[in-house]
A and B are shown apart, each in its own frame.
Chain A
């Protein structure tokens, strides 16, 4: 089955630093990847749609200069949280869909728990 690998699983950083999260599709190609964040006991909130070879599409209210997304290849998207603050502490999850099916299920990475101190 399709596997999405996300790294790191958890990270603790100091306020003001930047953190990069990687999302890789291991056995399929993904022109589109999605980045979500999730606060405790809440649902997944879509942050942005990452498109291979072009700019990401951000959801309303998500700062594109703070959450930098790069989708340089068909198997890798990265999310960089720049100048992180404690309120950015959250669970970040990436997901991808098999290139062959636009209505196929999303495959999720295992998530990255970010704690900003």
Chain B
């Protein structure tokens, strides 16, 4: 089976840095993606990792360790508009289906 876990909720302060973790257990890992979703809206793509290491994209960075089945999304210089749900998704080789994790609701406080 497949299992993708994230913390349910996190709270952080405007201007701070927050790290959202994602652990996964899948057969035939292909890649890991991070999406942002505001309430009532569709998810928007943030970043993806195929190989181990850190991918940086402006205020957002994502890290992957395939041997540990672990990824994190790092958000720097938090803004109020970053309050949203953050979803990690894993694709598996063969089917290339996206399986989403439980999602993390982030609240950014002034």
Task: Check A43–B98 contact: CB distance below 8 A.
Answer: no
Task: Check B96–A111 contact: CB distance below 8 A.
Answer: no
**Chain A residues touching B, majority SS:** strand
B42, B48, B100, B103: the one within 8 Å of A105 (CB):
B48
Task: Check B98–A108 contact: CB distance below 8 A.
Answer: no
Task: Check B45–A105 contact: CB distance below 8 A.
Answer: yes
Task: Check B95–A43 contact: CB distance below 8 A.
Answer: no
Task: Check A46–B97 contact: CB distance below 8 A.
Answer: yes
B24 in the interface (beta carbon within 8 A): no
Smallest CB separation, B97 vs chain A (Å): 6
Task: Check B100–A44 contact: CB distance below 8 A.
Answer: yes
Task: Check A110–B98 contact: CB distance below 8 A.
Answer: no
Closest to A95 in B: B98
Smallest CB separation, B66 vs chain A (Å): 14
Q: Which positions 18-72 of chain B face chain A at CB distance < 8 Å? A: 30-31, 33, 40-45, 48, 50
How many residues belonging to A are interface residues under a CB distance threshold of 8 Å? 25
A-B contacts at CB below 8 angstroms, number: 55
B79 in the interface (beta carbon within 8 A): no
Closest to A106 in B: B98
Contact status of A111 and B41, CB under 8 A, knowing A43-B102, A103-B91: yes
Q: Which positions 73-110 of chain B face chain A at CB distance < 8 Å? A: 85, 87, 89, 91, 95-103, 105
- The answer for the CA separation of A41 and B97 in the assembled complex, in Å, is 22
Contact status of A103 and B96, CB under 8 A, knowing A43-B87, A110-B41: yes
Q: In the complex, what residues of A have CB within 8 A of residue B96's CB?
A: 32, 97, 102-103
Q: In the complex, what residues of A have CB within 8 A of residue B105's CB?
A: 41
On A, residues with C-beta under 8 Å from B are 6, 32, 34, 36, 41-46, 49, 91, 93, 95, 97, 102-103, 105-111, 113
Q: Which 9 A-B pairs have the closest CB atoms?
A: A108-B42, A43-B103, A105-B45, A44-B100, A103-B31, A43-B100, A102-B96, A110-B42, A111-B42
